[in-house]
Amino acid sequence: MHITLVDDSIPFDGYSAASRPLGGAEKAFASLPGALARLGHTVQVFNRCRWGMHIESAQWEVFDGKKPLRTDALIAFRKPALLEFVRHAGKRVFWHTGPGRMLDRPATRAMLDTHKPLLLLVAEAQARDFQAKGLAAGLLPMAVRPDYLNVSPRPQDPPRAIVTTHPAHGLDWLVDLWVRKIRPRAPDAELHVHSMTLASAAEGGAVEEGLRPLAAKVLEAAAHGVVVARPQGDHLMSAALSEANVHLYPGHADDMGCFTLMESQAAGCPAVIRPLGAAPERIVDGVTGYSAPDDDAFANLAVMLLTDRSVQQAMGAEARAQWKTRTWDGVAATLEGWLK
């Protein structure tokens, strides 16, 4: 089968995540072509990569490169207009990682109604926000890259919580909770905030106006064990997750991927989340992490995982067991079945 994948966002390729931080959606897109090629398919990828290259038996092409005249399956990533990237396609697929309600925008709906693609969703939460109206839809199981599956948990002393959320997705709330209710009960603990924006602020760089109050708050919280770090490529990021006692995940109603939450689970780091977006789908509540119903519960659970090593280790082991078989080869096999 000839399969064409197309993305029109930022420059990246199948090697990018190994050497630099990359968004979870982009990493998902970069992981699927090689897995499909390993099943014996001929795979072409078109995106904003800097030059054409052969990666894991898939051929990556620059976005404006020569398109195939036809393809058996066209997988358009995130932008509905990409469903028209190849004129003749045996099957068209739209891979959506955003909130479900975005699929009901008039222009998007018109494109979907015209081409009747198979909708690939990444979370059940997406399906609650839109009406399929005759479109076929499938929940594509998500996976993580090998670095997160191969790392071994090694919590550090002093105990460490990690947060990877976008600064605008609840970090202000979390820092307040850390200072008021978590750190006083775990006085040696550190909160490691991985954020490119805040790392730039810590180094004296410019910060967009809307995030300046938060940046100032985070830097002032250094006195309460808050440490700002730059996000890294998969190898170093998996090590950082493996060294944490708990992943604190404030969540956001529009976060349908929760990709770093999947990565921390695979690395054996239990989580405390707020039940927002798709976050509850990424953990097993009470087994690999906790979904906290309110601020007090979130703080109490965070303190427990920071101070009780036996609970932390047991939950981390369960998290690793849940994710160890979730590979991109398995995702590709599921998708292959839908494309036949």
- In DSSP terms, 163 is beta-bridged to 193
DSSP 85: S
28-41 pLDDT, tens digit per residue, is 999 999 999 999 99
Strands 42-47 and 58-62: parallel
pLDDT in tens, 262-301: 999 999 999 999 999 999 999 999 999 999 999 999 999 9
Quote the CA–CA distance of 245 and 270 in Å, as a whole number. Answer: 7
pLDDT at 59: 98
Peptide bond between residue 158 and the one before it cis (omega within 30 degrees of 0): yes
Q: What is the pTM of this model?
A: 0.94
Tokens of 73: 């399956």
DSSP characters over 94-161: EE--S-GGGGGSHHHHHHHHHH-PEEEES-HHHHTTS--TT--EEEPPP---HHHHH------SS-EE
User: Residues 196-211: what's their mean pLDDT?
Assistant: 85
- Categorize the per-residue pLDDT at 207 as very low, low, confident or very high, splitting at 50, 70 and 90: confident
pLDDT for position 203: 84
Over residues 154-170, mean pLDDT? 94
- Mean per-residue pLDDT over the chain, rounded: 95
d(CA 103, CA 252): 19
Residue 14 has pLDDT above 90, yes or no: yes
Average pLDDT over residues 298-316: 97
| 117-161 pLDDT, tens digit each | 999 999 999 988 887 778 999 999 999 999 999 999 999 999 999
Question: What was the pLDDT predicted at 323?
Answer: 94
Closest residue by Cα to residue 42 from 68, 79, 17, 66: 68
- Cα 299 to its chain centre, rounded Å, is 24
pLDDT-based confidence at 96, cuts 50/70/90? very high
What 3-state class would DSSP assign to 91? strand
Encode pLDDT of 54-77 as tens digits. Answer: 999 999 999 999 999 999 999 999
Per CATH, the architecture of 147-323 is what?
Answer: 3-Layer(aba) Sandwich (3.40)
pLDDT interval class at 208 (50, 70, 90): confident
Supply the DSSP string of 238-276, one letter for each residue: HHHHHT-SEEEE---TT----HHHHHHHHTT--EEE-S-
Asked whether 63 and 46 are in contact (CB, 8 A), the reply is yes
Report the pLDDT averaged over residues 209-226.
Answer: 92
Query: What tokens appear for 331 in the block?
Result: 């995702």
pLDDT at 131: 77
